[in-house]
Chain A
Amino acid sequence: MGASPLVAYPTDALRQHDPFKRQPLSTNTSANGTPLLPGPGRAQQAPKSLDNLEQMNEDEKRKYVKGKKLGEGTYANVYLGHSRSDPTFKVAIKKIKVQKEYQDGLPPDAVRELKYLKELHHPNIISLISVFSSKDQNLNLVLELLPLGDLEMLIRDVERVSYGAADIKAWMGMLTRAVWFCHDNFVLHRDIKPNNLLIAADGEVKLADFGLARSFADPGHKMTSNVITRWYRPPELLFGARHYSGAVDIWSVGMVFAELIIRNPYLPGNTEVEQISLICRQIGTPTEENWPGVTQLKEYTVPSQVFPVQKKDAYMARFGSVGVEGVDLLAKTLILNPKNRITARQMLEHKWWHMDPKPTRKEDLPRKSGSEADEKAANDLKRRAGQVGEEPDRGSRVARKLDFGAAR
């Protein structure tokens, strides 16, 4: 009910929502939301006798011009595109492929991604501008174009890209706000990692790829533990927990934080078993003492040698470049027991943000430019959720086969 209990009825109902202030695109609905009849000239190439639905789709489709293909992937192809009425208005068009192997209709990734992108409007979350379907009944998502690649690119390019604590603070701030916003809207992202953090032309970092996202479950409702790319997957999921919270995303945020500092994946396990053992060695072995109940989790197995939970000075030695407060924040994201792990909101209230150095202004952040970034961003958009990029020789690290039927 909140502050003003009477809902003012929206006047643009049924109009495609455009998250941008700038509206170069004409709409095909009248002020009260009534779909207008096709105007002259608009339907000239469309087959005759379209109904409402078909006409609205045709109109939406005609607003954009599909340009060159930026990338082709397993789940989608990504094209550069622009508005027909304003060619300077560039977009990315993500065309979801019909998947021969998924016999059960519209694929889960597409359903999830559309469901959440349609609702989440935030400067640090990729904007969905429009959706239309092409002739062959493929979904096309019109997304804001994020032309400067992703965080993974910057992290990996040690030779050409150098950055410092102020830059890390800026990037982490944007990531944390995105995650807070998701959680505040009861959405778990479940696939946070550097190559899902895309960079806009102005340097703003945006969380993308909601193909594994879901809403918070009701208490007692089971979810699948088979989410989040392995290196970024928290111990509770590795142990097969079926009830979990936003804490799973926070662990991933912590892993990204660590990776930004050391410029290498912090815990790059090649298998789940190895992932668990890396966590035990680097962070500490989850035990009944530091995490009451953990041994009851279905897939709880840890190496026989028990490692104590790391003290702050161990983290200082490795991550000290972000300062004492930065390390404190990092350590709190890596608390083994998810109940004690810091929340996104608490992260935003942490002292670190107010310490020197101040976060870099987004315009001044280090960046790469050119086609390399374009390509990388396209590859990120088209990748299937749960996959890690690059270095195929490092072994398989895609999330385990996703069993969508078993749990939600």
Chain B
Amino acid sequence: MATEDARYRESSQFKQWSFSHSQLAALREDTNAKAVSSISERLSERLVSGTGAPSGATSLPPSNNASNANTPDPEGSSPSLPEFLTAAEESTLVTFYVSELLRAGDHAEFSDEIKATAAVLFRRFYITNSIMTYPPQEMLIVALFFGCKAEGAFPRISDFLKTFQREHPEEILAGEFLLFRGVRFSIDVKHPFRALRGAAMELRSLGDIDSKRIDDAERRARQILRFSPLMTDAYFHYTPSQIMMAALSLADRGLAERLIQATFHYVQPQTESEANTPAASGTSGGDGQRSKPPTEDQATIVGSYIRDRVLGTVEACRDLLHKELPERREHWADRKMYKAHILPLRKKLNKCHDPDRWNLVELQRQTREQAAKKADSDDEGAGGGGRKSVDDDAAVFGGDLSGPAATKRRKVGQVKLEDPFGGAL
């Protein structure tokens, strides 16, 4: 674990959620193709059986379908299938919903980290899951709820419902597990925010730069980090520090270059204890208090070859972020844009979504039902002993402890059980 890079390569963000451009495109095509085929199958079944879809949305007047040129229909045998979204259209919609997610996050006054984590989880989810399979409008709220948890805040569902004017906890909770599973349980999202603070500190320490200039650049870069990387695929292609440098470069190219120059002319200090790497190089947003890489590593990073690669990478990331500068917030919220570009896609989506999975609450109910039928067979033959556990949970979580007497009683009962551990409060 010598270097920051070695550390980053151990992260799930790198191991599971970093892709080249072509890998990512291929994954999305694949997800789209699979969704189209399975939804076609499900819709056809319904059409054939004549039961129709539960919501009117999936049953279409045939005349409407006749005009659909690119209905995937190799055999020409199912003329009543709707037109499906393409992978590119899915991406556009995902980006639109991320903008909605960020606005919702602003409304709820969540921290930058929570909003960013929610956005990244949402994007991750829709790489291997089609927007036609699971409803994005629901999932974005779920992502915000779970984003809070991933960042260590555990909001009450009741508060959350109030903030977003929803009525039933199930609307959010039904999707939570789905999301968690959909991101392969990788919820530690590494952000560029701390790295930016480190970079600003590093620039100040150089001593010859006007501090107002640094402040302005930091402010602008932060604004960018709150929006641009989340609205693009930046987190899938670049490390947090690269994203930070790109944002800084967009804010003030001179400062970013200066920082890179300063970093790669970093002189090896004499004493070991003083040799903290600059916080600016932190992949996870370091605080500057970390171990020194070995001398050889230090030597290789000072080389100009590596510096040029850094500059090239930062430049590429910069171009990506440039496509979605914070000013585009207005674009995405604009009604005309919505009507022209988003509404048609949503209309299409309304017709081609998965009839079995679109309603999360219903899906959850069915899953539970199936599980109940199975009668939790994997717990059989377990032998008793755990019946008390519910009370123990109450002891730790529940609000209504009925006083010391009750606590004592619970404790006494517990002594007899096989589990002598979880004591009362």
A and B found bound together: yes
Q: Which residues of A are interface residues toward B (Cβ below 8 A)?
A: 1-7, 9-10, 12-17, 32-35, 37, 47, 49, 51-53, 56-57, 66, 68-69, 71-75, 77, 95, 97, 99-106, 108, 111-112, 114-116, 118-119, 121, 131, 133-137, 181, 184-186, 214-216, 218, 345, 379, 383-384, 386-393, 395-398, 400-402, 404-405, 408
Which B residues are CB-close (under 8 A) to A74?
389, 392-393, 396, 419, 422
List residues of chain A with CB within 8 A of the CB of B322.
Answer: none
Contact of B1 among A14, A104, A184 (CB under 8 A): A184
Which one of B71-79, B237-245, B345-353 is at the interface?
Answer: B237-245
The 7 lowest CB-CB distance pairs between A and B, nearest first, are A2-B4, A136-B371, A72-B386, A404-B154, A74-B392, A2-B5, A408-B152
6 A–B contacts, CB within 8 A, in A order: A1-B283, A3-B3, A14-B27, A17-B15, A181-B1, A401-B425
A32 touches B23 (CB 8 A): yes
In the bound complex, residues from chain A placing their C-beta under 8 Å from that of B401 are: 401
User: Are the CB atoms of A119 and B11 closer together than 8 Å?
Assistant: yes
Contacts of A73 in B (CB 8 A): 386, 389, 419, 421-422
Q: Are A102's CB and B172's CB within 8 A?
A: no
Shortest C-beta distance, A73 to chain B (Å), equals 6
Q: Which of B14, B149, B376, B386 contacts A7 (CB 8 A)?
A: B14
Q: How far is the CA of A72 from the CA of B383 in the complex (A)?
A: 9
Are B397 and A101 in contact, CB atoms less than 8 angstroms apart? yes
Known: A1-B4, A384-B396. 12 other contacts (CB 8 A): A2-B6, A3-B293, A7-B8, A37-B34, A51-B35, A95-B378, A103-B157, A105-B145, A106-B180, A118-B185, A135-B371, A398-B425
B237-292 at interface with A (beta carbon < 8 Å)? 238-239, 241-242, 245, 263, 277, 280-281, 283-284, 287, 290-291
User: At the interface, is chain A mostly helix, strand, loop or mixed?
Assistant: loop
Inter-chain contact B14/A184, CB cutoff 8 Å: no
Q: Is the interface of B mostly helix, strand, loop or mixed?
A: helix
Known A14-B16, A51-B357; judge A408-B238 contact (CB<8 A). no
Question: How far does the alpha carbon of A389 sit from the alpha carbon of B16 in the complex, in Å?
Answer: 37
* Known pairs A1-B245, A71-B419, A402-B397; A53 contacts B182 (CB<8 A): yes
Interchain CB contact under 8 A, A388 and B16: no
Contact B14 A10 (CB under 8 A): yes
Residues of B within 8 A of A390 (CB): 420-421
Instruction: Check A133 against B177 for contact (C-beta < 8 Å).
Output: yes
A379 lies within 8 A of B419 (CB): yes
Chain B contributes a number of interface residues (CB within 8 A of A) equal to 120
What is the 8 Å Cβ interface bit string for chain B, positions 366-377, against chain A (1 contact, 0 not)? 011011101010
**A390→B128 CA distance, assembly (Å):** 46
A5 touches B313 (CB 8 A): yes
B343 to chain A, nearest CB (A): 27
